[in-house]
Amino acid sequence: MKKFEGKTVLVTGAGRGIGRAVAVAFAREGANVVINFAGREESAKETVALCEAEGAKAICVKADVSKEEDCKKLLEETHAAFGEVSVLVNNAGITRDKLLIGLTEEDFMSVLEVNLKGTYLCTKLAVKDMMKKRSGRIINLSSVVGVHGNAGQSNYAASKAGVIGFTKSVAKEFASRGITVNAVAPGMIETDMTDAIPEAMHEAMLNQIPLKRIGTPEDIANGVLFLASDEASYITGQVITIDGGLMG
């Protein structure tokens, strides 16, 4: 029997990158996967095809996680296809990197809206399913930047630190219902998000990683699947750093 057979797993922002790797990893373990996307539908459909190639059932649903109406629709379509959510992975995220001096209110708020408010909205809706079943797993994507900060990313760092505070609080609220809530804090992972980093800076960052390689989306998916598994049933309110040793 596969580990997530019969479970409904909702992954936000799963059209590419870490979200896609998470979706495919759950599909490999037998889950019914809902792939949320906000941008390119073709990319989300590719994720669906990759999940189906693992023998799983998968659908993609367009929704902007920063909008409550969209999130409601996302949950409705999830219920119609696969029933109640067992595992929610709040992965959708954006960056608008600038030094504070040039950071506009729109740069600041847009990042908070997607990374933090999106996590709040999806959690609030999906946790209702989990409360009914008295079991569930919520895994939120934070970042090492949310713990340690980074010049040029004050908006992103604030959103990801917010995700950690949110995770720890919600974990306490729902522990008695059999629901665990944890975060993963990736270091530098090879995706479109990090492609924008200039080559010289890329090299300098690589030199600081003790394991001497940039992480892969699959490295993060492995951590997410562990937190969603039965083996992690006594872990809640935690932040698991997956960064090749970068932050020591």
Please give the residue ranges that form the binding site for ligand NAD (CB under 6 A): 12-13, 15-19, 36-39, 64-66, 91-94, 114, 118, 141, 143, 186, 188-189, 191-194
81 vs 131, beta carbon nearer ligand NAD = 81
Amino acid at 103: L
SS3 204: helix
Smallest separation, CB 67 to ligand NAD (Å): 8
40 vs 132, beta carbon nearer ligand NAD = 40
Smallest separation, CB 39 to ligand NAD (Å): 4
Number of separate helices (H) and strands (E) present in the chain = 10, 7
Cα-to-chain-centroid distance, residue 95: 14
| Active-site residue, 120 included | no
Smallest separation, CB 118 to ligand NAD (Å): 6
Smallest separation, CB 223 to ligand NAD (Å): 11
Taking the C-alpha atoms of residue 197 and residue 97, their distance in angstroms, rounded to an integer, is 10
Taking the C-alpha atoms of residue 248 and residue 244, their distance in angstroms, rounded to an integer, is 9
Q: How many CA atoms lie within 13 A of 243 on its CB side?
A: 22
Taking the C-alpha atoms of residue 68 and residue 124, their distance in angstroms, rounded to an integer, is 10
Which among 4, 108, 156, 174 is annotated as catalytic? 156
Q: Which residues are catalytic?
A: 156
